[in-house]
Every structure is written in structure tokens, then in C-alpha cells.
Structure 1
Amino acid sequence: MAETTLHIAGRHYDLRCRDGEEAHMAQLAAMIDDKARAAQQGMAGMTEVRNLLFAALFLADEVTDLRRELAGRQEKLALETQDDDAAQAVEALAARIEKLRAGLAARATDA
């Protein structure tokens, strides 16, 4: 296990993480720090716990927005895939109709 120190809202937090994850933990801490500082600016005099609560709420709000956006994109992609599938089906039907028309035309000329 590796040990690292995270800096969030002017405080230092020592913690352990898996070896090699120190940089990732620092990135996560920087995200939390940004939100905690934004909360501090908006509401001065908050306790540390309340400040971190608001930081967590801000991050949860962003995650929710991103999940909605992802769901919308996935839905759009699914519809596009359905459109592609429908277009292929129409093309296949058109080819069958053309083949049948050609067969009927050949029979009509033979008769």
C-alpha cells in the first residue's frame, strides 16, 4: 500500500491507496478541492463537514448531469442503429421486389 497526502480546502489528509494510484488520488482530490473552494466562496463560515458536504453535492450534481447526457447519447445511438437496420431491411425488400418484378417480366415475355 502506498501513502499519500491529499490537499482539500486548505486541509491535508493522509491516506493509503494501492501502489501506483497516488497520482489518480491527487487528481480526485483536486476535483474535490475545486468544489470545496467554490462552496466556501458561496457560503463563508461553513464547518469543514458542511463544506465537504456541499462539495459532494456539487460533484453528485455533475455526475447526474453526465449520466443524463450519456443516457441521451445512448438512446440517440440506439435510434440511429434502428434507423440503419430499418434502411437495410428496406433495401433488402426493394431487392426482393426487383427480383420478383424481373421474374414476372421474364414470364410475361415467355408467354
Structure 2
Amino acid sequence: MADETTVNSQITDAITQVNASVGGSSDALARAMADQIMAHAVSVAIQNAVAQQQHVYMLRNAVTAAAVRAILDSDPEQALRFADEALRGDDLAETIERLSAIVKGKPADNTQPGK
């Protein structure tokens, strides 16, 4: 027990015990607080990643719907002509060149080497 002063000795003993308890656990409390802050930051980052992934899926669905609508609205005969012009021959480089020429509105070169 503490010496008798103007303050009751039981009060000073209680304060001394609380100070010792708080002083001994401050490292553990600081570590726990840091762990909670880190866990919160990681969970927010994961939540943002999931939201971004959901938005990407929504955009993909919108693009797919627009492409399907464009395909359905197009003339089937024109699509067949385009496919016939674009896919003549077996050479990938020639096919890419023909597709590029068709997209740019230039007439496709129908000459193929070796034929």
C-alpha cells in the first residue's frame, strides 16, 4: 500500500495498478491497432478489385450486345461477300492485308502468288 497522503491510499494503489497494466500492454495494443488498420486496407483494396471486375464484365456485355445487334442489322449477302473477300486463300498475312484494305475502303488485291 502507498504511504498515507491527502489522497486515499486505495485510490493511489488503483491508479498505480492501472498505469502498470496500460504501460505493459501498450505494445500489444499498438500492434493490434496496426493489424486492424492493415486488414481494413486490404479488404477495401479487394472490394475495389471486385467492383472493377464487375464493371469490366458489364462493359463486355454491352459491347457484345452492340456487336450482335450490328450483326443482326447487317445485310446477310453483304456479310457473305465480305467473308468471301476476306477469307480467300490460306495465307494469314494476305488475309490481314485484304481485311485492312476492305476496312479502309480500298479494293482488295485479288492476285495471289503462286496461283
State the TM-score, normalized to the length of structure 1: 0.49
Larger Rg belongs to: 2
Higher strand share: 1
More RCO (CA 8 Å, sep 6+): 1
State the TM-score, normalized to the length of structure 2: 0.48
